[in-house]
Structure 1
Amino acid sequence: MSEPEIATKAPESDALETDTPAAPETVVPTTVTSESEADPKLCDECTSDRPTPSGQSSTGVIQEIGGVKAYISKASDYPHTPARLLLLLTGGTGINSINNQIQADKFASEGFVVVMPDMFDGDPAPNSKTSPEEAAAQNATSTPSFLDTFKIKAVETAKSFLIDMWLARHTEEKVLPLLLKVIEAVKDEFADAVSHGGGIYAMGYCFGARYILLLGAERTAQATGITTPWSKTNAGDEEAGSLSKTTGPYIKVGALAHPTMVTKEDFVGLKVPVSLVCVENDPMLSDEVREAGEDYMNKNDVEHEVQVYPGVPHGMCSFFHLWEEPSG
């Protein structure tokens, strides 16, 4: 597994990196004692796009693939030099975020054709742009006034309510079919890259991370509630009149960075190697769920690596290696 290090913080954090590292932030972790206590909302880093640093811009294009809009970025010497296909799934800020696009370009520079689909069908997380009040607080050199703090709290409360409504619109039943359309289309449009990599590589941040597990699993159509053209009828199904069909896995290998809204059941059926980058005592992914997932993968011989960072908030994981040639 000799491959380049690729940043897995929220993409807006990666875009803001400079050569001089920032001083470490003192963080008091939130303790989560059970799965039921985990807040299933999205982290602020994945719903609020940070300002793009001056002088930085993206180099890819947005186009339709399989009837779904996607940001596509390619290695500079592709197709003259073979590349692999990477499906990149974003947090709530979506494909129009310049920071997400810059992150896709970084992966492309490492030898990938990157396809970053619009999982939200033109409806990214509400208030994905940082509000003036929040921006002022981030840039403040002194303690905010009581009025400033009140304004910030009011904005956070309103945003939380809107995000709850937004999440209700973007369920697995809505998102997964979009991803399957894109996967089917890339097999044709970028057949050389899929073939060169021996399949589709996939990377997901925050909201998108959960779908890495779903795309890497073999599940029945009954379990997903979705019938796809790639469903494989099990022996005896037709005679029994059963609707049970197995689907997936659709990817070769997957990586998840600061996942959210993942449940224990999402690991069931997982077949492909995965790498997880998590933080300790994460309110978005409880230790209980993560440990249950590790236990399932161990018992079912699913190749995996899990890195857990203590003392940092959700969305601020450090670095890990995107697998190049998983064994098996």
Structure 2
Amino acid sequence: MASSQCCDNPPALIPACGKGKVVDSFGGLKAYVAGPEDSKAAVVLVADVFGFEAPILRNIADKVASSGYFVVVPDFFHGDPYVPENAEKLIPVWLKSHTPEKGFEEAKPVIAALKEKGVSAVGAAGYCWGAKVVVELAKANELQAAVLLHPSFVTVDDIKEVKCSISILGAEMDVRSPPELVKQFEQALSVNSGVGHFVKVFPGVAHGWSVRYSLDDAAAVKSAEEAFADMLDWFNKNLK
């Protein structure tokens, strides 16, 4: 069962936001896309339970795109993101029909569509729920680079099976992936000399800090911007 921390600070959804565009089908899923269509390097962003319309997530997509990547943010929830106000569909109930394993299966055609359009290097970043999708892709050799941000549902056994360069960005006050677990992730990666890795725990922040925060909170913005810089640096090192 996911903890309530996963559902803290839900974003106000603004479907029209972002510099990119929403397409009805990319690899079979509705998606927000941004960046140069002819880029040979692409990044897939996998949302947390609040879905692909979250304004900060789209802002992140736009910033990644401005660095030359073609960016895809698929709607893995098919128009049904988690809504905290919906008391009849609590998070454990919602998760039964929105499993990360289903997201992984639906992500594979998205990556295939990227390759069909000429992309030769694919990276993916996942937030919370999305981190489990990304680690499954990394285990299946579907990616050249992966980034997990405050992951949920990810296990040490998952990390042991990763086949591409991976960065894990954790939070000091995270009950889903506490620093002790993130340290175990790092130890597992250190044993695998064939996989490049970067692991970091951000002090003073909680689960969701990199994609759900108040723009009026200077400290929160600074931490989120640092996480973004680390993520982009990882892609720049491993996709270009």
TM-score between the two structures when normalised by the length of structure 1: 0.60
Provide the C-alpha distance between the structure 1 equivalents of 2:63 and 2:31, rounded to a whole number of angstroms: 16
- The match for 1:203 is 125
Task: Kindly report which structure 2 residues correspond to 1:143-222, keeping only aligned pairs within 5 A, or say none.
Answer: 158=87, 162-188=90-116, 190-191=117-118, 194-195=119-120, 199-217=121-139
User: How many Å apart are 1:294 and its aligned residue?
Assistant: 1.1
Matched with 1:263 is: 155
C-alpha deviation, 1:119, in angstroms:
1.4
The percentage of aligned residue pairs carrying the same residue is 33
Equivalences for residues 91-102 of structure 1 within 5 A: 91-102=48-59
Contact 1:126 1:166 in 2 (8 A): no
1:40 touches 1:261 (CA, 8 Å); kept in 2? Answer: no
Letter in 2 for 1:326: N
Show the counterpart of 1:241.
none
User: Which residue does 2:202 correspond to in 1?
Assistant: 309
Whether the 8 Å contact between 2:149 and 2:169 is mirrored in structure 1 is yes
Q: How does 1:210-249 map to 2 (within 5 A)?
A: 210-217=132-139, 248-249=140-141
Which residue of structure 2 lines up, in the alignment, with residue 110 of structure 1? 67
Q: 2:187 aligns with which of 295, 298, 303?
A: 295
Deviations 1:245-270 (A, max 9, x none): xxx21000011222122222221311
- What is the Cα-based RMSD across aligned positions, in Å? 2.7
Residue 89 of structure 1 aligns with an amino acid whose one-letter code is: V
Q: Distance in 2 between matches of 1:66 and 1:111?
A: 21
Contact 2:22 2:30 in 1 (8 A): no
Report how many aligned residue pairs link the two structures.
218
Q: Whose strand fraction is larger, Structure 1's or Structure 2's? A: 2
Which of the two has higher C-alpha Rg? 1
Check whether the contact 2:125–2:131 (CA below 8 A) recurs between aligned residues.
yes
Q: Structure 1: which amino acid aligns with 2:32?
A: Y
Gaps of 5+ in 2: 211-222
Structure-2 change in CA distance of 1:101 and 1:310 (3 Å): closer
Conserved 8 A contact 1:83-1:111: no
Secondary structure, counterpart of 2:72 in structure 1: strand
Give the structure 1 partner of residue 164 of structure 2.
272
TM superposition score normalised by structure 2: 0.80
Distance in 2 between the 1:215 and 1:326 partners? 16
Q: Distance between the aligned counterparts of 1:84 and 1:166, measured in 2?
A: 33
